[in-house]
Each structure stands twice: as structure tokens, then as C-alpha cells.
Amino acid sequence: MVRAERKVSRQRLAEAVGVHYQTIGYIERGQYNPSLDLALKVAAFFGLPVEALFSLEPFQPLTDQVYGHGKDS
């Protein structure tokens, strides 16, 4: 999770993108899909392309990508 890795609080991110801090928690838990506008604001906040943060397919854990673990191993 980029937010936690960069030591950004939910409150700080929420204020930067104009939402309630609980909305950030809902997004992180997969309980809420952000609008395109919100997804772009979050991506811009972190200086990343939107597809680095949001995807239609679940992200594989980084350890699976780096070490080749996962369901195909």
C-alpha cells in the first residue's frame, strides 16, 4: 500500500484530495471504488500513474512478482 509505505496518514491524503478520511479507508479495503476524478487525484498526490494504484484485476503481492511465487508456481 503506497500510502502506508510513504508514511502518509489517511487524514493527510483525504485532505489533499478533498474527501473524508474514512473514504480512504473504504478504498483501501476494497469497499468503495473511487470515481475517476478521485483516482486521478490520488495518483497525482503520489506522483504515480493511476494504473499503478488502481486496477480492474487484483494486484499480486510484490513478493510474488519479485520472487516468482504465486498460484502459477
Show the domain range for 40.
2-67
* Residues 9-65 pLDDT 10s: 999 999 999 999 999 999 999 899 999 999 999 999 999 999 889 987 776 655 565
Domain count, the chain: 1
Strand, helix or coil for residue 8:
coil
- CA distance readout (Å), 44 to 6, 55, 66: 14, 16, 26
Q: Confirm whether 73 is domain-assigned.
A: no
Q: Confirm whether 72 is domain-assigned.
A: no
Q: Confirm whether 60 is domain-assigned.
A: yes
pLDDT at residue 17, rounded to an integer = 98
Q: Confirm whether 27 is domain-assigned.
A: yes
Q: Where do the DSSP E strands lie in 1-73?
A: none
Can you give the CATH number for the domain in which 15 is found?
1.10.260.40
Q: Confirm whether 51 is domain-assigned.
A: yes
Distance CA(12)–CA(54), nearest Å, equals: 19
Q: Confirm whether 53 is domain-assigned.
A: yes
Q: Confirm whether 26 is domain-assigned.
A: yes
